[in-house]
Structure 1
Amino acid sequence: MGHYKANSTNSREFSLTMNNSNIGELKYSKWYSFKADILLADNSIYQLEPKGFWDSKIELKKDDKVLLYFEMGWKGIVIHFNDSDKKYLLRLKSLWSSNYILIDTDEKELLAVETDFKWSKLTFDFNIETSNEFDNFENKEVLLLTTLHCINYYMAFVNSTV
């Protein structure tokens, strides 16, 4: 099981670490934008780009190739991988919780995210616990940072409807 921390340096930049070692960053182009870049420690860069009416779908790209996309569903955010039939669901752990879980189609929990709102900075930090199965994923770092983007997307979507 892995334990990761994602800290927000401001409302647009998040750094992901494990055991104080930098894994990567999630950087938004501007405040309240769904367009963002993922920069990994190995200097590889991925783009998250909104598509569709009301930015209802977000695509993860590397060099103009779409690797996955996610969209809001009735139960949470559904993540679809383009190269396979794999689907994952990111949802709230419980109705009155601010914690999230990522599950597969068998409802097996792959990771849990605990949100921590920092009143002094008006930003969120995240604690992420991954399962052994998740730890064996290819490109798990990209999926972790994409999951952070999904959570920010979910919070922005829910807050805009209240």
Structure 2
Amino acid sequence: MTEYKVKSSNSLVFELTKDEASIGTLTYTSWFRFSAEFEILHSKYQIEPKGFWGTTIELKEGERILLKFRMNWNGEIVIQTYFNEIKSGYIFKHRGIFKESFVLADQNGIELLVMKPDLKWHTMHYEYQITTSDTFDTFFEKEILLMTSLHCANYYMSMMTAGM
């Protein structure tokens, strides 16, 4: 198991760290849109809504699509990855109300990570505590999945607050 932290300096920039060392930064272009980019170890990735309604979100490295995700009818986010030409599927879902968290699970329902949001009332920014499983720690593209999970949590929060 590995522990990660996400801190937000404002509502547009989120930094993922492990043991106080920076892993990556997620930056939104505007808080009205789901477009963003993140950087991991000097590699840049773009997150862009696609389609007429923008309900499918793509993660690209240059022009290459690495993954897609969309929210399904029951509020889960379905993630399809295409790492190294291998297609895999994951589910990102919200769990609980009072002790809320988010979970990333594989196609068999095995939990790979748990993400706990923490609203900082004095700044009104979310921070997250992420705990990953031993299985997740072996993934070659785990940093990309961590940053995507962060974007999914923010996406979920914005979709739920927009619905209220």
Scaled by the length of structure 1, the TM-score of the pair is 0.94
Cα distance, 1:39 vs. partner?
0.7
Match of 1:118 among 96, 116, 120: 120
Q: Which residue of 2 aligns with 1:66?
A: 65
Partners of 1:97 and 1:74 in 2: CA distance: 23
Cα distance, 1:53 vs. partner?
2.8
Q: Which residue of 2 aligns with 1:145?
A: 147
Paired letter, 2:94: L
Q: Which residue of 2 aligns with 1:54?
A: 53
Paired letter, 1:12: L
Segments of 5+ residues of structure 2 without an aligned counterpart are none
Q: Which residue of 1 aligns with 2:100?
A: 98
Paired letter, 1:118: K
Paired letter, 1:148: L
Partners of 1:118 and 1:29 in 2: CA distance: 22
Q: Which runs of 4+ in 1 moved over 6 A?
A: none
Report the secondary structure of 1:150's partner residue: helix
Cα distance, 1:55 vs. partner?
1.6
Partners of 2:90 and 2:32 in 1: CA distance: 25
What CA RMSD, in Å, does the superposition of the two structures yield over aligned residues?
1.2
Cα distance, 1:95 vs. partner?
5.3
Scaled by the length of structure 2, the TM-score of the pair is 0.93
Report the secondary structure of 1:133's partner residue: helix
Cα distance, 1:74 vs. partner?
2.9
Segments of 5+ residues of structure 1 without an aligned counterpart are none
Cα distance, 1:93 vs. partner?
2.1
Q: Which residue of 2 aligns with 1:21?
A: 21
Partners of 1:157 and 1:93 in 2: CA distance: 15
Percent identity between matched residues is: 40
Q: Which residue of 2 aligns with 1:157?
A: 159
Q: Which moved more, 1:43-52 or 1:79-88?
A: 79-88
Cα distance, 1:96 vs. partner?
5.2
Report the secondary structure of 2:147's partner residue: helix
